[in-house]
């Protein structure tokens, strides 16, 4: 037989594109269209309905950046269309190939009810099936002219990322607004051809099935009347029916399709636009559910549900109906799809708590899995937190983006830092916007790593980010692929069903231990430093407000615990932990608003804390310690005078004039407090840090060396830092001034000022306090660089086999060598309040109050000693998608802690991030809780969310070993129960001698619910 593949494939392609597809709509009549440009921000339907509209013609430009244009569309179904399937077809002038990053619209009925959205790949609105003829159609269409921010494929900066800089020129040209007859025979033929042709081209040449399909397509084209596509469509489909009816192989892979519409809660659009994106997509989804009984849609992010509930009650009601029918599956159990590395431990717990509670309260459904397809790596704390929230499974997709190493599993058990395991799946289709194309189906099977162990994988399908979600075309593809020879089988089902079956067929799946590190997007630990600082400060201020509000509620008559305010503020912080806000990868508008929100949150939390402390009474100056560790520190009083105070964990103490053992001595550029001696060189670096307690030098080279690197990644500017950044740099070694600014016996300080680059300045106050070995670098930067990253380096004279970095409820160890490509790929990593390096008997920590990115490396000096280099990433200057990212002022502190154990490092990390609060108070009761025993760390103290008056305490083991102790209370204790994260009792905790005995395995998180005597 002659090889005619090329002829046939080209024949099919042309006939499909030029004859069949244009014939899907058999006849059209245009709408009469009028328009009204809403001024400023979006308006309500009622305001839009009352506006004055003017005639609008097709092919007319419309839509300034971030604008809203309302279109009134009126039409009548012709009488001769009776019995036909009639739809409205609307093309706003869609551009490019990204359906979720451009114009979108929501179609309303005259009474204000949202009907369906219009999107680039979902342009129809159902009118009648069948039509009776003569129907009057009246729509009010809210169209958003969102700019295509990345239309130049990351190659050009753009001012379009903020309404303040985007201009007003129209972005789109309206193309079509018609009533049309959908020819269902032609539409189905179009799908038959697409599915078969895509299957064919991805089958190997030697497969008989490929050639069988090829010749069936050729015969089908013979049956097609090019002059009467509609009239011959049924006959063509009959030719194709036999090849579409052949069942899949008995051993065919099974793909569980789950409807999905990944909607970033903010990214290349502001939060206000996400609220509208959700309404549009969810309108589409509920409309599709009415049409396809076998359709199931999985949707995460409780925050987005709440937006729809509050702003689109009709859409909310339709969602509730779909949930009851089993077609809508709330998943994920988190407030938003948060970043997987940067949120603090308690914040990550609250993501799960608030998300799961929302779905339980509003749908009576407890979600069973963590759904995070798009976050940029995943902390090793996740398995334990997920299980403590009642989850059985974990799903992500993003690890498929690895730059260097292919992750070895798709279905596996993921083991966290405490030993908890959770069943985990990475869809081998390598997308969370699947459409069941032939390429995707081939990739899913070819890519699947568990062949021979498992036989199924999951594929989230639908257009995301406002692209409209799943479509009827994708559902039709799924139906054709349900049992088709040469293809994997496709079944549309709930993700819980997939995970149950996958676990049952592969219970002994392999185990991956530790973090799921994404070998890409490493710069998200640093970009948009002010957003990250706002998050860190908010997390700690929330802890502070809850602790002192609890103290006041227990001991101050008449004080009322601020449940609603704290709930609202937590949700604001949780929202901004979304995986394109907190990582710093959004447009300028998003980060401008985030910074303003963090400032508002800080002001409100400061007021709540002050109110709680004031409720304890007035009469003397006291220091309040929100840290879970006892502290002896130098503080500034209300008149800025210095004082030394010793304060118990979670408690307070009067400023009684206690004195440290040794004052700080300042001599030239040397600071000495009897614990450490710090020498500052003429160039402003540290020439020596000598640990007087251990009798050893801490540094192996210049300390606090500031190095400015060129930072132009290959592709994703705000997201990535590529390893070549290390090759070009400038060391900042020419200070403007080095001067002593404090010689107080309690605090010595030397200030170093530098000017560099394009008008940037950095001022650092190097501070040593009495009684503490911690050296602080209080830093003020006025930053005006572009495509640069600033690092602060500490070359530590220890031979460290690994570094330890704090993560949520514990820490993770990473090798300092680069023996394999896996270690080499971790050239930039994340941590929270500290990173620690050490050798047996001696360790050094670098602490921070708002920095997350760092790198650790190791070299051997000429003298044979080893220098372990710890470098903090301080600030970056990407230009895409925000051309002004990080420009301007920054203020933060980082610290060097010589001679530190892990336990001391943990304590100092809390101290740096939770400064002592000095306030007027007559006296304070005992701490709400205290712990006898080491290693048991109190993370949160609050009243139970149900208003019962119970006290909830979250504890964890912070050192990486076993810990035991007794939790004691500052109130009469009636009983204690161990609960899950949602404060639901699991078992009774033993109460002995007025305290609760606690035993923890390494890094175990434990939530205790304490009932108070005399409170019913």
Cα(955)–Cα(934) distance, integer angstroms = 12
Chain length of the chain: 1016
Catalytic residues: 374
Cα(743)–Cα(741) distance, integer angstroms = 7
Count Cβ atoms within 10 A of the Cβ of residue 291 and give its class: 0-12 exposed, 13-18 middle, 19 or more buried: exposed
Cα(487)–Cα(202) distance, integer angstroms = 10
Largest CA distance in the chain: 101
The count of C-alpha atoms lying within 13 angstroms of the C-alpha of 965, restricted to the half-sphere facing its C-beta, is: 20
Neighbours of 807 (CB within 10 A): 24
Q: Nearest-CA neighbor of 282 among 261, 310, 302, 303?
A: 261
Cα(476)–Cα(382) distance, integer angstroms = 37
Q: Nearest-CA neighbor of 340 among 405, 406, 385, 306?
A: 385
- Sequence-separated contacts (24+) of 4-10 with Cβ below 8 Å: 4/218, 5/214, 8/214, 8/215, 8/217, 8/218, 8/221, 9/197, 9/200, 9/201, 9/214
Q: Nearest-CA neighbor of 549 among 559, 538, 537?
A: 559
Torsion of CA 481, 485, 488, 492, to 10 degrees: 30
Over its C-alpha atoms, the chain yields an Rg (Å, rounded) of: 31
Distance of CA 598 to the CA centre of its chain: 17
Cα(712)–Cα(583) distance, integer angstroms = 18
73: three-class secondary structure by DSSP: strand
**What does the DSSP assignment read for 837-861?**
EEETTEEEEEEESS--EEEEEEEE-
699: three-class secondary structure by DSSP: strand
Tell me how many helices (H) and strands (E) the chain has.
Answer: 18, 56
Backbone angles phi, psi at 310, to 5 degrees: -80, -25
Cα(497)–Cα(749) distance, integer angstroms = 62
Please give the C-alpha separations between residue 459 and each of 97, 187, 445, 469, 488, in angstroms, as whole numbers: 21, 24, 11, 14, 12
Backbone angles phi, psi at 826, to 5 degrees: -90, 50
Helix (H) / strand (E) element for 954: namely strand 951-957
The answer to whether the Cα torsion of 500, 501, 507, 510 is positive or negative is: negative
Contacts of 863 (CB under 8 A, 6+ apart): none
Please give the C-alpha separations between residue 540 and each of 635, 777, 915, in angstroms, as whole numbers: 18, 20, 10
Q: Are 661 and 673 in contact (CB under 8 A)?
A: no
């Amino acid at each position: 037989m002659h090889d005619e593949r090329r002829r046939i494939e080209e024949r099919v392609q042309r006939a499909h594109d030029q004859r069949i597809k244009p014939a899907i709509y058999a006849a059209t009549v245009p709408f009469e269209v009028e328009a009204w440009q809403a001024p400023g921000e979006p308006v309500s339907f009622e305001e839009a309905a009352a506006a004055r509209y003017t005639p609008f013609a097709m092919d007319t430009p419309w839509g300034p950046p971030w604008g809203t244009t309302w279109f009134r569309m009126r039409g009548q179904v012709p009488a001769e269309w009776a019995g036909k399937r009639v739809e409205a077809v609307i093309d706003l002038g869609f551009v490019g190939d990204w359906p979720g990053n451009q114009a979108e619209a929501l179609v309303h009925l005259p009474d204000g009810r949202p009907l369906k959205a219009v999107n680039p790949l979902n342009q129809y609105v159902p009118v009648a099936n069948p039509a009776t003829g003569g129907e009057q159609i009246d729509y009010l269409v809210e169209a958003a002219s969102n700019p295509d921010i990345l239309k130049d494929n990351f190659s050009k900066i753009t001012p379009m990322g903020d309404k303040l800089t985007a201009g007003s020129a129209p972005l789109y040209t309206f193309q079509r607004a018609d009533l049309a007859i959908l020819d269902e025979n032609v539409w189905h033929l179009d799908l038959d051809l697409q599915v078969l042709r895509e299957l064919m081209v991805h089958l190997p040449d030697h497969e008989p099935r490929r050639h069988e399909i090829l010749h069936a397509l050729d015969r089908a084209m013979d049956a097609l009347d090019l002059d009467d596509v509609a009239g011959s469509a049924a006959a063509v489909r009959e030719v194709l029916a036999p090849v579409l009816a052949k069942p899949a192989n008995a051993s065919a892979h099974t793909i569980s399709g789950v409807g999905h519409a990944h909607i970033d809660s903010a990214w290349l659009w502001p939060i206000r636009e996400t609220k509208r994106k959700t309404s549009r997509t969810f309108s589409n989804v509920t409309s599709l559910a009415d049409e396809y009984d076998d359709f199931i849609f999985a949707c995460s992010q409780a925050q987005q549900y709440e937006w729809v509930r509050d702003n689109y009650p009709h859409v909310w009601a339709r969602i509730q109906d779909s949930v009851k029918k089993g077609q809508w599956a709330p998943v994920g159990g988190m407030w938003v799809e948060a970043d997987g590395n940067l949120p603090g431990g308690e914040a990550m717990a609250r993501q799960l708590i608030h998300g799961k509670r929302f779905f339980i309260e509003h749908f009576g459904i407890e979600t069973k899995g963590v759904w995070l397809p798009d976050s940029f790596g995943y902390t090793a704390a996740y398995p334990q937190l997920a299980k403590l929230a009642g989850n059985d499974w974990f799903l992500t997709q993003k690890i498929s983006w690895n730059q260097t190493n292919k992750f070895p599993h798709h279905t596996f058990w993921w083991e966290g830092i405490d030993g908890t395991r959770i069943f985990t799946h990475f869809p081998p289709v390598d997308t969370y916007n699947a459409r069941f194309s032939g390429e995707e189906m081939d990739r899913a099977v070819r890519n699947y790593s568990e062949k021979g162990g498992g036989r199924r994988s999951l594929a989230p399908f639908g257009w995301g980010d406002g692209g409209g979600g799943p479509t009827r075309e994708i559902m039709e593809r799924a139906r054709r692929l349900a049992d088709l020879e040469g293809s994997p089988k496709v079944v549309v089902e709930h993700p819980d069903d997939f995970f149950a079956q996958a676990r049952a067929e592969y219970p002994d799946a392999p185990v991956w231990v530790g973090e799921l590190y994404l070998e890409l997007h490493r710069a998200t630990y640093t970009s948009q430093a002010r957003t990250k600082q706002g998050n860190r400060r908010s997390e700690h201020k929330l802890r502070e407000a809850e602790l002192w509000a609890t103290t006041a509620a227990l001991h101050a008559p008449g004080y009322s615990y601020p449940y609603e305010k704290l709930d609202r503020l937590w949700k604001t912080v949780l929202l901004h932990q979304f995986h394109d806000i907190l990582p710093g990868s959004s447009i300028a508008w998003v980060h401008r608003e985030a910074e303003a929100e963090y400032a508002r949150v800080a002001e409100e939390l400061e007021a709540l804390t002050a109110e709680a402390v004031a409720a304890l009474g007035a009469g003397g100056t006291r220091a309040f310690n929100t840290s879970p560790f006892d502290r002896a520190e130098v503080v500034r009083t209300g008149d800025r005078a210095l004082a030394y105070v010793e304060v118990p964990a979670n408690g307070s103490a009067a400023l009684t004039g206690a004195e440290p053992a040794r004052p700080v001595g300042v001599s030239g550029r040397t600071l000495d407090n009897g614990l450490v001696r710090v020498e500052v060189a003429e160039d402003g670096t540290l020439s020596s840090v000598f640990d007087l307690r251990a009798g050893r030098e801490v540094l192996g080279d210049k300390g606090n060396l500031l190095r400015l690197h060129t930072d132009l990644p290959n592709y994703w500017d705000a997201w990535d830092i590529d390893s070549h950044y290390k090759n070009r740099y400038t060391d900042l070694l020419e200070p403007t001034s080095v001067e002593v600014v404090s010689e107080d016996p309690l605090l010595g300080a030397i200030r170093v000022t530098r000017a560099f680059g394009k008008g940037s300045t950095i001022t650092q106050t190097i501070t040593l306090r009495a009684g503490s070995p911690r050296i602080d670098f209080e830093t003020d930067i006025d930053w005006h660089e572009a495509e640069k990253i600033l690092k602060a380096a500490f070359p530590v004279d220890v031979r460290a086999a690994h570094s330890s970095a704090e993560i949520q409820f514990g820490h993770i160890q990473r090798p300092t060598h680069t023996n394999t490509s896996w270690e080499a790929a971790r050239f930039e990593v994340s941590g929270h309040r500290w990173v620690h390096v050490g050798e047996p008997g001696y360790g050094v920590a670098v602490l921070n109050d708002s920095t997350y990115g760092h790198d650790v490396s190791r070299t051997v000096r000429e003298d044979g000693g080893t220098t372990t280099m710890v470098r903090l990433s301080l600030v970056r200057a990407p230009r895409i998608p925000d051309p002004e990212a990080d420009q301007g002022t920054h203020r933060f502190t980082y610290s060097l802690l010589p001679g530190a154990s892990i336990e001391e490092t943990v304590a100092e990390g809390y101290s740096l991030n939770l400064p002592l609060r000095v306030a007027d108070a007559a006296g304070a009761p005992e701490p709400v809780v205290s712990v006898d025993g080491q290693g048991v760390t109190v993370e949160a103290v609050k009243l139970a969310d149900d208003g019962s008056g119970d006290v909830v305490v979250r504890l964890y083991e912070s050192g990486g070993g076993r810990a035991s102790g007794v939790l004691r209370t500052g109130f009469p204790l009636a009983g204690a129960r161990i609960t899950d994260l949602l404060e639901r009792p699991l078992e009774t905790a033993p109460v002995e001698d007025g305290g609760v005995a606690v035993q923890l395995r390494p890094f175990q998180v434990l939530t205790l619910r304490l009932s108070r005597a005399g409170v019913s």
